[in-house]
């Protein structure tokens, strides 16, 4: 095959490389398998197109030109209304290629140059990310000293559960802007002696800033967070803050087992020297997040061929996480720190109110269905009540349980008006703190102070609470 006829493969692969470079901060362990699968399938797809058209035309130059046109339509048509026009365009181009008697060498050379120029940009971005290095943790090393360290080491420590419900808005904003009263769940938590900070706000309205800030007990003021998704060094730095967070570091001093129950998007946060990590193994990667993202950029998005599989996979993952927290984690002998990241009520909205699989148009970045969002809350409330009951029942001594949203819902856009700011920053923040006088706890305490409070009370560490602040990114 002539060198200038490689462009159908490059045009076929360009959208994949573009998606990888634009979403590199969100890629997980499973995403990498999905990308390899897509790479293979795209090459095979283009090869078959070339082969089939060449069977008809007996002319590689015409066949490859038709393949390129088909590839353009494959990626450009994203709505059912575009199917008929796309078919008409393809048939007209097919007829034109068949009838014209002309040498297409110059056209192919131009297309090859265009393809190479296009794909250089995402490859450069990906390469920059891969070769970049992560600087040493630039946050302040907190000088945490216990007033009676030796005595503490001899006592029996409480298990600590840090349960993140991704995108769970607080009861204040739910009532104010969605007219939804979460009182039954809040009353349940209070009946179990949780302190519920109903006007608590996240410190950052973005998961990858919010959770690192909480687990390092300080604001990320020493890190320039601007242009995060396009900054490979910063992406790696934030991952390092998660893997080597200060909470883990200080709990290691007391022989705590660090247990992670990650979602599919937080597997990159798993520390290297972990005591236990719950790993979900989906039945197939074809229902994975990255493949779903890729399909949504193609003509395949006009069908429901993959959508139900994808939604069901997401739903099953969350259910398996809940089941492990309810039935499995207590079997690991303590003291233990359990960090669970649950991708709900964050979209896609996979649950009906009763927990059955929902039929939804929502996606990772498409929040704007308030009733479906509330259905997630109604269902996960039921499961959280069951899990909390079981955790308390199976604990030798009453545990510390932190139940938080990392940020709120983004149902009405990101424009920084009062409604959007309150919806996306007011969070569920409920903490079970045994034997602590709750009269001194603030109704507005923010996540950055969660572990400062715990270390101060239960480990006699000399540490002060920070002023509660919110950093809003639109």
DSSP H helical segments within 58-182, as ranges?
60-76, 83-99, 105-131, 149-153, 171-178
| pLDDT at 283 (0 to 100) | 41
The rounded distance, in Å, linking the Cα atoms of 403 and 143 is 27
In angstroms, what is the C-alpha Rg of the chain? 26
Are 269 and 242 a contacting pair, CB within 8 Å? yes
The kind and range of the H/E element at 451 are: helix 450-458
**b vs e for 87-106, b when ≥16 Cβ sit within 10 Å of the residue's Cβ?**
eebeeebbeebeeeeeebee
201 or 296, greater pLDDT:
201
The rounded distance, in Å, linking the Cα atoms of 222 and 135 is 12
Residues 332-347, mean pLDDT to the nearest whole number: 93
Would you tell me the crossing angle of helices 370-393 and 307-323 to the nearest 10 degrees?
30
Count of helix runs (H) and strand runs (E) in the chain: 16, 7
Name which of 169-178, 221-230, 419-428 the model is least confident about. Answer: 221-230
Given the DSSP bridges, would you call strands 257-261 and 336-342 parallel, antiparallel or unpaired?
parallel
The CA-CA-CA angle for residues 460, 152, 394, to 5°, reads 100
pLDDT tens digits for range 382-422: 999 999 999 999 999 999 999 999 999 999 887 888 998 99
The rounded distance, in Å, linking the Cα atoms of 349 and 366 is 10
The rounded distance, in Å, linking the Cα atoms of 399 and 195 is 14
Are 433 and 197 a contacting pair, CB within 8 Å? no
Q: How confident is the model at residue 285 (pLDDT cuts 50, 70, 90)?
A: very low
CB atoms closer than 10 angstroms to residue 354: 9
Q: How confident is the model at residue 447 (pLDDT cuts 50, 70, 90)?
A: very high
Query: How does the average pLDDT of the chain come out, rounded?
Result: 86
The kind and range of the H/E element at 252 are: helix 246-252
pTM metric for this prediction: 0.83
Q: pLDDT over 70 for what percent of the chain?
A: 89
């Amino acid at each position: 095959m002539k060198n200038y006829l490689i462009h159908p493969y490059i045009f076929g692969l360009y959208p994949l490389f573009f998606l990888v470079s634009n979403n590199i901060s969100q890629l997980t362990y499973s995403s990498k398998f999905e990308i390899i699968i897509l790479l293979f399938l795209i090459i095979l797809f283009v090869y078959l197109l070339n082969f089939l058209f060449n069977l008809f035309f007996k002319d590689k130059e015409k066949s490859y030109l038709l393949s390129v046109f088909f590839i353009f339509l494959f990626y450009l048509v994203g709505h059912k209304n575009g199917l008929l026009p796309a078919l008409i365009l393809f048939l007209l181009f097919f007829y034109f290629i068949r009838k014209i008697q002309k040498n297409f060498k110059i056209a192919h050379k131009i297309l090859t140059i265009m393809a190479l120029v296009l794909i250089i940009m995402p490859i450069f971005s990906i390469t920059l990310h891969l070769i970049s290095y992560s600087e040493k943790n630039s946050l302040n090393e907190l000088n945490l000293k216990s007033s009676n360290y030796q005595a503490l080491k001899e006592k029996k420590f409480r298990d600590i559960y840090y349960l993140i419900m991704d995108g769970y808005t607080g009861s204040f904003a739910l009532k104010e802007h969605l007219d939804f009263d979460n009182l039954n769940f809040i009353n349940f938590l209070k009946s179990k002696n949780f302190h519920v900070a109903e006007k608590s706000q996240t410190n950052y309205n973005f998961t990858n800033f919010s959770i690192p800030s909480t687990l390092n007990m300080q604001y990320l003021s020493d890190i320039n967070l601007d242009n995060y998704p396009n900054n490979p060094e910063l992406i790696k730095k934030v991952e390092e803050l998660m893997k080597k967070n200060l909470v883990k570091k200080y709990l290691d001093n007391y022989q705590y087992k660090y247990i992670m129950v990650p979602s599919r998007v937080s597997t990159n946060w798993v520390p290297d020297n972990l005591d236990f990590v719950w790993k979900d193994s989906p039945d197939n990667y074809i229902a994975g997040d990255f493949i779903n993202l890729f399909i949504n950029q193609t003509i395949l998005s006009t069908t429901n061929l993959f959508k139900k599989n994808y939604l069901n996979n997401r739903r099953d993952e969350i259910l398996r996480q809940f089941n492990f927290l309810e039935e499995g984690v207590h079997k690991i002998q303590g003291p233990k720190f359990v960090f669970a990241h649950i991708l709900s009520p964050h979209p896609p909205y996979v649950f009906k109110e009763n927990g059955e699989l929902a039929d939804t148009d929502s996606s990772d970045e498409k929040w704007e269905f308030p009733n479906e969002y509330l259905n997630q809350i109604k269902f996960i409330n039921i499961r959280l009540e069951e899990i909390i009951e079981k955790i308390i029942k199976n604990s030798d001594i009453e545990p510390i349980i932190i139940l938080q949203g990392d940020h709120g819902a983004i149902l009405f856009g990101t424009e920084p008006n009062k409604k959007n700011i309150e919806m996306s920053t007011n969070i569920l923040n409920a903490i079970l703190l045994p034997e602590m006088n709750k009269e001194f706890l603030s109704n507005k305490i923010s996540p950055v102070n969660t572990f400062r409070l715990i270390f101060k009370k239960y480990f006699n560490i000399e540490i002060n609470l920070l002023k509660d602040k919110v950093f809003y990114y639109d």
